[in-house]
Structure 1
Amino acid sequence: MIPNVYLQKVYAGFIGMNAGIRLGAPVEPTEWTPEMIRDVYGEVNGYLKDYKIFSADDDANGPVFFIRALLDDAVNREMEPQDVARAWLNYTREGIGMFWWGGDGISTEHTAYLNLLRGIPAPQSGSAETNGLIMAEQIGGQIFIDTWGWLFPDNPNKAADYAEIAASVAHDQNGLYGARFIAACIASAFTAKNIQEVIDEGLAEIPADSTYAKVIRAVQKVYEQYPDDFWKCREYLENEWGYDKYTGVCHIIPNAGVCALALYYGRGDLARTIEIATACGWDTDCNAGNVGSIVGTFVGIDGIPEKYRKPINDTIVTSSVSGYLNILDIPTFVKSVALLGYRLADKPAPNVLVDSYKEEEVFFDFSLPGATHGFKTSLPFKTILKANDTIGYQSPGSLEIFIDRLYEGEKSTVYYQTFYRRDEFNDEKYKPTFAPKAYSGQTVSLKLYLDKFQGAELYITPYVRNTYTKEVTELQKEKLKEKEWQEISFVIPDTNGSFVEEVGFAIESPSSLTERFFGKLFMDEFHIYGAQSYDIDFAKQAVEFLSVTPFAHHRGNWSLQNGNMVVESDTNCASFTGHYYMKDAVIRGTITPTAGAHHAILFRAQGTQKYYQVGFAGEGKVALHLQNFGLTCLKSIDYDWEIGTTYQLEVEVRGPHISARINGENVLSYTDSTWEHGMFGFALSEAGGCIIEKVEVRP
């Protein structure tokens, strides 16, 4: 039975998870003892660091991308471990992002990934028999599984089963019990009456004689003895269940103890729970993230304090191979989770949910309580942004922009950030890469409603900001009508080889100093859609987070030289960018092979293991290949090409029809419908080198 507040609870749980991750991340390394945390930060009662933009974190990467096994493979059947293993391989760039690449035999996830590449399938890839018990019981078993709890509300057994399946890719025994426990707690938190009930449901899903169950019950006993002093319990954990007894880099058992401690002593208060989890040290972002998921789901959106919610601003970044997907709007993501939950329950989703989600486009309707969808303002002194849960275009919910005493000569902007650069981040963390959420040629539309209190007219001017020049291109100024919903739409102009990093509108008024503008502006149904038409000029790109913007690289050494992108690799490699849901398009790239015999343009890429590629494929050959966890040649033709010669490769896709041209000459046509949308990029199928010049994407 799916609760009436299902979507809102998933939203609260996901924000709670990210609040915990963000709170605990600054003191995650083991050098940060509880004593050191107290010495430097005092009592933990708010975010420890004021991030410009919080970088990607493995604790969020896993929950976001591993459930895609249900979208890609286990669509109409029960999920199996290898389905999740395929998601690992498909969305992860080797050696960069997603999880900790600490070395084979050191990092559990790194080891499991290499096992999968070696041909060891899941669950053997994560078994104690394969990797040893210590490796199999590290903390990753429970930190990547939050979404499985949200997919099965009020069904802790099913949530635990799927969490175990997912965790088995890299973990075993207590690593699996941790996955089952946390997922079951989240699933039960939808309707549980108290935290003890939540914990009991979690314990019911793991063996009673397991070490994991024993540490949870041990914490409960200490809590009952010292209910007002969590430091007594933390001291007990250090003495009886500490890292000296459970070895490896980050064992699950001590951290399970901290999770239980935080749940008991937090007593259902989201803020207090994640604060305690952070103050206790050990793996702070993992523990605070897990208990944040549980308690966030339990208390709902009203139980998340503004001090933890506001800095998140409905946006996180992740570090998969898709730069487009890495810019994650939280309300949109939780809607996708809820729709998947309805599908798994074999229940029809409410029409209001179905209508508010557009997978292939940017669409924000502000229907979730307190939703801001990441919007920002350049002048918060004059334009104050907040969610309005009552006023909306067709249904309740909008972004309220309170305009405070604006007068002639002043201008403030309200915008959605569509691209990110390295200088906006405080640290490297899990090296996110980005492809824009908006492109030249696409249409932007939005609904505005003006409620004026005093002052003269109000004007808005749509604009975009160029990420290379930082210049603002303003479009047609519009005078707003009062007390009436008004649609504003515009086409994103050509960015001349660069990209748009902001899409929004400027607000102005000719009001005088004696009667400055006061009023409210409401925005709803912000929408970016349509075909893209743009170029990539590598002279206007940069190397950031180990990748050439706006690409994400999978293997190989990619760099910028003399205004071109250059790749040199001693193995096969690929590079990806573009709109993840792009379908029909013409893609051109000018390349000069410098070494090796396989140089291709790839398209309709849905990850590192799913795409088409067409190009030079051996001496005197051009071929079209299908990548589906292994390359298959679909068609090959004779074509004389030479190392050191420059060629324009072009591919046109219309539905299942694929056509390739070289220097304007038609060389190959084929029909195949395996992949219907995806990114594009470049690939070397074996060791080699290549120079890539200007790139074009056309409708």
Structure 2
Amino acid sequence: MKQEYIEKIYSGWLAKIIGIRYGAPIEGWSYEKIRNLFGDRLPDYPAAYKNFAADDDSNGPWFFLRALEDSGEATPQAVAQALLNYAPYEHGFFWWGGYGVSTEHTAYLNLRNGIPAPQSGSMAQNGSTMAEQIGGQIFSDTWGLVNPGHPERAARMARAAASVTHDGDGLNGAAFVAASISAAFEERDIRKVMETGLSFVEPDSRYEEALRAVMAFYDSHEKEGEAWRECFQYVKAHYGYDKYPGVCHIIPNAAVMALAMLYGGGDFDRTLEICNLCGWDTDCNVGNVACILGVALGLSAIGRKWRQPVGDLLISSSVLGYYNIQDIPGSAAYIARLAYALDGEEIPEGWREALSGERRFHFEFPGSTHAMRLRAESGNGPGDAGNGRHFYLENTEETAASGSRSLKFVAAPMEPGEVLYLYHQTYYRPEDFTDSRYDPAFSPILYPGQVVEGWVYLPEYGRPAQVSLYGKDIRNGKIYEGERISLGLGEWKRLRFQIPGGTDALLGEAGFCFRMEGRALERFEFVGMVDDLSFSGQADYRLDCGREQTEVWPGGHTEISQFTRLKGDAWLEQGRLHLSCADFGELYTGGCDWRDYRAEYVFTPICGNFHGVNLRVQGGTRSCGAALLEGGRFGLVRSRPDGSGYDLLAETAFPWKWGRPVTVTVEAAGNALRAWARTGETGEGEETAELVSPHGAGPYSNGCVGVSVRQGSHLALDGIRIWPAGDGIKPPKHHQSFQNAAPNPENIHKTTEI
């Protein structure tokens, strides 16, 4: 793969997210309604968001692509497993409009009920109306991005993936989008890109007919200025919504995409504007078109007016809260890694570290900021952060700790004694968003016990300062701060800080802390650069359910703080987190990058005969763990990839009872999986059990934690304690008291409170 394609992957994915955000506020609007409100032009975002919440147009492409990593291939069966694994059951992720109404909902329930892919999305199963809605097209961008310069392979993978939920012209749209994006890596002429995309569409299909008709109209009519409006009237008359059944058919929207790419004339801004002004499924259409042009034209075509509001942030609404907080350069790096793997090539030396699988903010993509943020405090209270200050972030080639780029920041005016924070937000709450698009929920991406590392530089034309790394507990505002150093000018310095372990801190931000130096009455501009910020290591963490909250989102949907829900009913009551179900229910929390660790769960089985604890959770169908089972048994379990339940790996007698608290400890180290269960206190009334899996942990080498119930069961969770696995460490002999419990003194590091 050509090295320059790495940057084009980023530019295409960034453009996709920009297009979604640009079209989302007017999704479903008519051409007339848009013109009535905005007039003839819409050169910028039509709405401002605090942060842009999740969208199905990015959820689908991002998580279906993970089939390549999880299963090693992009077959209908592999993508079907990804859908079952990453999509919550009938909430979030995409539109759950009902069986026989929403194409994706219909296919999902088909899969859940044993109808395999690709039959799950076929016309034979669902009819042509369901099969030919827009989803096959809007979820296919990443198959083009992961196959740069290989349009045939991109189209083949896109068709296979789309067949899980779609058929007919739904597959033609998938092939067109993916092949066009793939071709755009090597061709800037948009008409030629479109012709390549069409070469992978079935001849004489309605999809080809519609796009060819738009191209013929363009060739035979005026092209300049507002001439596109006449073409839209042609599209509306011949290929409008009234001509096709269903909620959102693919053909009218594909015709609008073709119109916009032709009349946009290879100009990024104008193409997106025309596409949005046409109306209909605006976020889908503009997202697809933007991705094609973002690859073809590159980053230089995407202006600051588009990039700054996005801020490199990608919010998702999968079943895994850790993955729901992403930055666009990080997800582009993931796509690039897969692209090199598909080609059977090594990542070039200059990119190897930047494209690693860690949470790493490398700033090597021009203009990238990795969703970093600035704030300042003067000590005058929580409202002092603004105070007429100017904050500015800029990707720069001025200097770098590694590679060729770093992140430059400017804050002005600053005064001696003030503190400047440059940070990445590691957890989000409802108040961080304007709306609740596709119902996101989150788990933190950084935990006590983990390590923050980064490089920092103060230029010779700037001012010296004391600098440190830090993490902030957003429950109480407490700052955990590493060693402060006095940083001189003109020298890169590497910092490393392990967040204190054994606590229940909810870390909502982490990064660099700068303490201003100087003399009273001085006011100045403060400038610096940072590079290669990363979060890594195993958590040493205590989650106390008595401290969690019910988070209420705009629009009314609720979540339990730090948890995501696959299915079931979850609520907080008297300091416990309850989970119950009719058929099955699961909740997850923690870091998906956790590997070798031990997790202790304290809970009470209320009713039913399956009360499980999960670890190395990689989604709704990928985890292992332990469970209290019917007949006074305790077992080690591993989930089935089709989502139908769990396989029993080992079991033993264990006389658990409803209403009696249980402590279950599970450890995964390498491929070894073992568990202990205990009821009562040490001594009288105590019952214990221990199990070792003869099959190990199976294919799951990393993942978060969770709890699960089946067959009408109900449990009440007090809390979870996570710490690194270690040979010779015995499970605690007493129940952990989660409410107001003190952390283990051996796990407390030196901290500084601000």
Same fold per superposition (TM over 0.5)? yes
Choose which of 208, 212, 220 in structure 2 pairs with 1:213: 208
Partner of 1:659: 674
AA in 2 matched with 1:307: K
Match of 1:375 in 2: 372
Take 1:36 and 1:383, find their aligned partners in 2: how far apart are those partners? 37
User: Does 2:560 match 1:548?
Assistant: yes
Task: String of CA shifts for 1:11-48, please: whole Å, max 9, x gaps.
Answer: 0000110110000001113xx21221122233211111
**Which moves more between the two structures, 540-549 or 609-618?**
540-549
CA RMSD of aligned residues (A): 1.7
1:100 corresponds to 2:115: no
Q: TM-score, normalised by structure 2?
A: 0.89
Specify the alignment match of 1:154 in structure 2: 149
In structure 2, the CA distance between the partners of 1:82 and 1:601, relative to structure 1 (3 Å rule), is same
Alignment check: 8 A CA contact 2:588 2:704 kept: yes
- 1:424-453 deviation line (CA, Å, top 9, x unaligned): 111111111111111101111111111143
Whether the 8 Å CA contact 2:652–2:689 is kept in 1: the answer is: no
Equivalent position of 1:618 in the other structure? 630
Question: Alpha-carbon deviation of 1:4?
Answer: 3.4
Give the match for residue 613 of structure 2.
601
Residue 494 and residue 50 in structure 1: after superposition, are their counterparts in 2 closer, same or farther (change >3 A)? farther
The answer for the alignment partner of 1:227 in structure 2 is: 223
Deviates most, 162-171 or 213-222: 213-222
Larger mean CA deviation between 36-45 and 154-163 belongs to: 36-45
Look up the match of 1:569: 581
Pick the aligned partner of 2:664 from 649, 654, 672.
649
Please tell me whether the aligned partners of residues 457 and 490 of structure 2 are also in contact (alpha carbons under 8 angstroms).
Answer: yes
Output one character per residue of 1:266-288: Cα deviation in whole Å (capped at 9) or x when no partner: 11122211221111110000000
Aligned to 1:422: 430
- For the residues of structure 2 that align with 1:673 and 1:285, how far apart are their CA atoms? 41
Report SS of the residue matched to 1:244: helix
164, 167, 176: which is aligned to 2:171? Answer: 176
Pairs within 5 Å for 1:524-563: 524-544=531-551, 545-563=557-575
Contact 1:19 1:309 in 2 (8 A): yes
- Number of equivalenced pairs: 691
Corresponding position of 1:363: 360
Following the alignment from structure 2 to structure 1, what is the Cα–Cα distance between the partners of residues 617 and 515?
A: 43
Give the residue type in structure 2 aligned to 1:695. Answer: I
Secondary structure (helix, strand or coil) at the match of 2:54 reads: coil
Give, as a single letter, the amino acid of the residue that structure 1 aligns with 2:124: E
More off after superposition, 489-498 vs 666-675: 489-498
Q: Are positions 1:435 and 2:471 aligned together? A: no
Quick check: 1:507 aligned with 2:519? no
Say whether the 8 Å CA contact 2:337–2:355 is kept in structure 1: no
CA contact (8 A) 1:511 1:517 kept: no
Aligned to 1:323, what secondary structure does the other structure show?
coil
Among 717, 720, 729, the alignment partner of 1:695 is 720
- Residues 1:448 and 2:460 aligned together: no
Query: Does 2:44 correspond to 1:46?
Result: yes
Q: Partners of 1:344 and 1:358 in 2: how far apart?
A: 16
Structure 1 segment 61-100 matched on structure 2, within 5 A: 61-75=59-73, 79-100=74-95
Code of the residue aligned with 1:650 in structure 2: it is: T
Q: Which amino acid aligns with 1:194?
A: D
Q: What is the CA deviation profile of residues 74-131 of structure 1, one whole-angstrom value per residue up to 9, with x for unaligned ones?
A: 35xxx32111111111111101122111000000000000111121111111111110
Contact 1:453 1:518 in 2 (8 A): no
Comparing 571-580 with 108-117, greater Cα deviation is found at 571-580
Judging changes above 3 Å, is the alpha-carbon distance between structure 1 residues 656 and 666 closer, same or farther for their aligned structure 2 residues?
farther
Amino acid across the alignment from 1:236: Y
Three-state SS of the structure 1 residue aligned to 2:80 is helix
CA distance in 2, matches of 1:346, 1:440: 38
The Cα shift of 1:3 comes to: 3.1
SS in 2 for 1:19: helix
Checking the alignment, whether the CA contact within 8 Å between 2:625 and 2:637 is kept in structure 1 is yes
1:404 alignment partner AA: A
Which residue of structure 1 lines up, in the alignment, with residue 408 of structure 2? Answer: 400
Corresponding residue of 2:740: none
Alignment counterpart, residue 130 of structure 1, candidates 108, 121, 125: 125
**For residues 68 and 481 of structure 2, what CA distance do their matches in structure 1 show?**
43
Are the equivalent residues in 2 in contact too, given 1:375–1:415 (CA < 8 A)? yes
Kindly provide the amino acid, as one letter, of the partner of residue 687 in structure 1.
G
1:431 & 1:515 partners in 2: Cα distance? 47
Higher mean C-alpha deviation, range 487-496 or range 517-526 = 487-496
Separation in structure 2 between the aligned mates of residue 109 and residue 10 of structure 1, nearest angstrom: 27
CA displacement 1:461-517 (0-9 Å, x = unmatched): 433222222343444432112111111221213584341001023323232366544
Cα displacement string for residues 155-199 of structure 1 (whole angstroms, at most 9, x for unaligned residues): 212111111111001111111110111111101111114111011
CA deviation string 1:652-685 (max 9, x = no partner): 2222222212238452122414121111100113
Matched, 1:139 2:134: yes
**Deviation of 1:358 (Å):** 2.9
Q: Could you report, residue by residue, the CA deviation over 1:391-436 in whole angstroms, capped at 9, with x for unpaired residues? A: 1112211010124342224332111111111111111111111111
Instruction: State the Cα distance separating 1:59 from its structure 2 match.
Output: 0.4
Contact 2:546 2:718 in 1 (8 A): no
- 1:58 deviates by 0.5
Gap change, CA 1:242 and 1:591, over 3 Å in 2: same
Superposed counterparts of 1:230-629, under 5 Å: 230-359=228-357, 361-379=358-376, 381-453=389-461, 457-494=464-501, 496-512=503-519, 516-518=523-525, 520-544=527-551, 545-629=557-641
Alignment-derived partner of residue 704 in structure 2: 679
The answer (yes or no) to whether the contact 1:190–1:297 under 8 Å persists in 2 is yes
Deviation sequence 1:301-352 (CA, Å, 0-9, x none): 1111111111111111111111111111211211121121122122222122
Cα displacement (A) at 1:583: 1.2
Gaps of at least 5 residues in structure 1 are none
Maintained 8 Å contact 2:448/2:503: no
Amino acid at match of 1:425: F
Q: What residue in structure 1 maps to residue 693 of structure 2?
A: 670
**Does the Cα contact within 8 Å between 1:403 and 1:521 map onto a contact in 2?**
no
Q: Which has the higher mean CA deviation after the structures are superposed, 289-298 or 220-229? A: 220-229
SS of residue matched to 1:72: helix
Could you state the TM-score of these two structures normalised by the residue count of structure 1? 0.96
Q: Return 667-676 or 158-167, whichever deviates more.
A: 667-676
Contact 2:465 2:515 in 1 (8 A): yes
| d(CA) in 2 for partners of 1:138, 1:37 | 23
- Structure 2 SS opposite 1:451: coil
1:638, 1:454 → 2: CA distance?
68
Give the distance between the partners of 2:605 and 2:218, measured in 1 at CA. 66
